[in-house]
Structure 1
């Protein structure tokens, strides 16, 4: 509890959208924790447009209500965090699934200097029926594993709704998402931003609502996965693109010299056509991944950096891209000219169809890669145009 003259150490923020059934008990638990622990704090309810009287319930139980007009879980939380007055914030859902009466582990880690303290429900315990099997055995473990792999995060439960953090450190991350993927954005940007991140065991009880939760398993799971992949262009574009390009390019090149038979499987111009298409798609993915990362860094997004990529960025430009693309295009054009000359030497008579098609595919591949490289270089030049920013 606080007085008007006391500096607030902790703000307990609860997002709320029609939580009249459980909001009061959550606030009472949080207020009880503040009284028992002696922590100078407040309870903030970030209301996202409730129509069931949640606002009045919150005020009646001593919470400060902040109205958030922008819809979404992330929007409500960011509005609450911005309105909070404490040095630290602990956020948690207002459905009575998290224990607001036992926040000492979070406060202790925050006072020790950690800037993000995540709850881990798998370590603390999940009550029977508190988490759907789809979330418990597939959704949360898989998405958390992907997050740990892509961003080298130490967090084992990316989507725990009970977490604490240094308010200013989180505001400095300039979080943007408004939906459920906000949970992933906090962890990813905190990790990439070099914040001190830790986790503590916490429990999850079956929520006290009679209505279904706002969470939609497949829709919100996809939004989390999409965020993780887009924020890591290396894994979304560069690595899959490189595999596809190398397989497609060298397969096309080898088949240009003649059919290949492996066991009972024969590969010729039809296989070569598909491999050339694979090479083009893979190359486009590589180019898009590079341009995406350059754009993100140019705009100041906090994404993973590497020395090798920084060196690559310094070396590539509109001019170097145009020259490399022109070189690839000329190689394809020379192959086409040689093929045309051979045809002309026969008096434009019939050619061996299989051989001619294989050479034409190789020629077309080089010219397409060259054109793509030239256009990518032009786009890169546009990205690097210096602009005065307000």
Structure 2
């Protein structure tokens, strides 16, 4: 369900930015203030109880409610609500500076890539916990071996064209969504590029890779996908 956002008289966005959100009211004001001109934020409220939706609307974002819990469910709901040709995705927890989005988006808009991934470069040691960094490195190594693509980080900041993303027919609605996207895109022959982006400590406590339990859940989801998606 999409709730009212900016005035319909506003010019159409050049880029839609999907921000999956679960209890990120404290982070959203700082995140949304850094949104580049011409970009529109689509905050997907995935069951928040802290007033995140109201905060997002107050800072000019379109708010979409997705009742089904899961990262993939939230991202897909935002993608369906988007109308811009190019759609970016990013965490809403303050760990990324949205002002850096053009680094990623421009690789797609200038035709240099079909899928651009933000490679996280931590600004502080505690920005990326050791267990999460190790899990990411192991996954990236397996993807390099499996696909032959040079990839080092399957991070949450990325961009691609909306119609192409929908055409991939992604079905994962949990933590495995980014992995399925990468595997399907590589199998389809997409040009995939990595771009360095800053990564800093999130606002508040992480619900996924910031905890060992969350990392284990993500690894389980992604391991299942590696088994199910043909090499």
Partner SS for 1:203: strand
Aligned with residue 172 of structure 1, among 154, 167, 181: 167
Output one character per residue of 1:74-107: Cα deviation in whole Å (capped at 9) or x when no partner: 0000000110111111111111001101222112
| Preserved CA contact (<8 Å) 1:92 1:163 | yes
Deviation at 1:69, TM superposition (A): 1.7
1:131 aligns with 2:121: no
Output one character per residue of 1:174-205: Cα deviation in whole Å (capped at 9) or x when no partner: 11001111011111111111122111011110
Find runs of 4+ consecutive structure 1 residues off by over 4 angstroms: none
Deviation at 1:24, TM superposition (A): 1.6
| Cα distance between partner residues in 2 of 1:4 and 1:152 | 46
Q: Trace 1:378-389 onto structure 2 (pairs within 5 A).
A: none
Q: Trace 1:126-165 onto structure 2 (pairs within 5 A).
A: 126-136=123-133, 138-158=134-154, 160-165=155-160
Aligned length: 221
| Cα distance between partner residues in 2 of 1:220 and 1:55 | 25
TM-score, structure 2 as length reference: 0.89
Partner SS for 2:34: helix
| Preserved CA contact (<8 Å) 2:24 2:92 | yes
Change (3 A) 1:5 1:29: closer
Partner SS for 1:168: helix
Aligned with residue 187 of structure 2, among 187, 192, 198: 192
Which one has the bigger helix percentage?
A: 1
Which one has the bigger strand percentage?
A: 2
Deviation at 1:126, TM superposition (A): 4.6
CA RMSD of superposed structures (Å): 1.7
Output one character per residue of 1:150-169: Cα deviation in whole Å (capped at 9) or x when no partner: 122332212x1111111111
Q: Quick one: higher RCO (CA 8 Å, sep 6+), 1 or 2?
A: 2
Give structure 1 stretches of 5+ with no counterpart.
35-39, 233-303, 305-390
Partner SS for 1:75: helix
Q: Which residue of 1 aligns with 2:3?
A: none
| Cα distance between partner residues in 2 of 1:18 and 1:81 | 20
Partner SS for 1:106: helix
In our comparison, the structure showing a higher alpha carbon Rg is 1
| Preserved CA contact (<8 Å) 1:48 1:72 | yes
| Cα distance between partner residues in 2 of 1:228 and 1:2 | 43
| Preserved CA contact (<8 Å) 1:110 1:165 | yes
Output one character per residue of 1:291-329: Cα deviation in whole Å (capped at 9) or x when no partner: xxxxxxxxxxxxx5xxxxxxxxxxxxxxxxxxxxxxxxx
Partner SS for 2:193: strand
| Cα distance between partner residues in 1 of 2:8 and 2:116 | 27
| Cα distance between partner residues in 1 of 2:29 and 2:85 | 24
Output one character per residue of 1:120-156: Cα deviation in whole Å (capped at 9) or x when no partner: 11xx3452101111122x2111111111211223322
Partner SS for 1:129: helix
